[in-house]
């Protein structure tokens, strides 16, 4: 089992503006040139929070965005979207229950990522940083205080995004 975060963030560390809007991202330009397709082809499962799913719904057809993965949405509500399953509880326990040999992509948001970081379950952070400042919003990192060291494996420039591939150091 390997847990990945892969996603875009502003230079000051925000996933989204205070109103959960992703306008900053849509205006930064296309990601076509990134390694996204290769990344997605390796994933078996996606995990996301309720707000991330809502953004997907707002943008169109969620099933068309993640067609080849099992997709789980952490929500206390009901979901009626083919290909997506509502789950609840602790993301860390959920991930452990998925069994071995699965590549799990934490699409967002920080309420899913934080408990996984806190339990040291994140193996790889692939972050695309855009040269944009928001000054407020939804931060990517919301885990508790603890020094965690990854290894910077690769740095790439894709248009207006700097992609950092950070792999967890296991000691």
| Cβ-based nearer residue to its own copies, 37 or 157 | 157
Instruction: Determine which residue in the list 1, 13, 51, 79 makes contact with its own copies, applying CB under 8 A.
Output: 13
In whole angstroms, the minimum distance from the beta carbon of 85 to its own copies comes to 30
Residue closest to 112 by CA, chosen among 74, 65, 166:
74
In whole angstroms, the minimum distance from the beta carbon of 15 to its own copies comes to 12
CB-CB contact of 14 with 147 (8 Å)? no
In whole angstroms, the minimum distance from the beta carbon of 108 to its own copies comes to 15
Instruction: Determine which residue in the list 4, 66, 74, 161 makes contact with its own copies, applying CB under 8 A.
Output: 161
Q: Tell me which stretch binds its own copies (CB under 8 A): 42-50, 62-70, 75-83, 157-165.
A: 157-165
In whole angstroms, the minimum distance from the beta carbon of 133 to its own copies comes to 4
SS3 25: helix
Q: Is 170 in the site for its own copies (CB under 8 A)?
A: no
Give the helix/strand (H/E) hosting 47.
Answer: strand 45-49
User: Taking CB under 8 A as the criterion, which residues in 17-46 touch its own copies?
Assistant: 18, 24, 27
User: Taking CB under 8 A as the criterion, which residues in 92-151 touch its own copies?
Assistant: 117, 125, 127, 129-136, 139-141, 143-151
Which residue do the tokens 């929070």 mark? 49
12 beta partners: none
| Cβ-based nearer residue to its own copies, 58 or 156 | 156
16 beta partners: 138
How far apart (Å, rounded) are the C-alpha atoms in residues 47 and 95?
Answer: 9
CB atoms within 10 A of CB 40: 16
- The strands making up 124-130's β-sheet, listed across from edge to edge, are 84-87, 70-74, 45-49, 103-108, 2-10, 124-130, 161-168
Residue closest to 98 by CA, chosen among 78, 116, 80:
116
How many amino acids of this chain bind its own copies (CB under 8 A)?
39
Binding footprint of its own copies on the chain (CB under 8 A): 11-13, 18, 24, 27, 117, 125, 127, 129-136, 139-141, 143-152, 154-157, 160-162, 164, 166
């Amino acid at each position: 089992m390997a847990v990945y975060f892969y996603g875009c963030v502003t230079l000051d560390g925000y996933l989204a503006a205070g109103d959960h809007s992703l306008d900053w991202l849509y205006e930064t330009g296309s990601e076509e040139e990134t390694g996204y397709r290769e990344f997605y082809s390796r994933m078996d499962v996606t995990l996301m929070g309720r707000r991330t799913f809502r953004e997907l719904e707002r943008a169109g057809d969620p099933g068309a965005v993640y067609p080849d993965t099992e997709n789980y949405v952490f929500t206390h509500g009901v979901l009626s979207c083919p290909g997506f399953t509502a789950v609840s509880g602790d993301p860390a326990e959920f991930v452990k229950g998925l069994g071995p040999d699965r590549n799990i992509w934490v699409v967002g948001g920080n309420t899913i990522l934080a408990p996984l970081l806190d339990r040291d379950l994140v193996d790889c952070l692939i972050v695309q940083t855009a040269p944009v400042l928001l000054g407020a919003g939804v931060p990517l990192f919301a885990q508790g205080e603890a020094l965690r060291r990854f290894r910077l494996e690769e740095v790439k420039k894709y248009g207006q995004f700097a992609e950092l591939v950070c792999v967890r150091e296991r000691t």
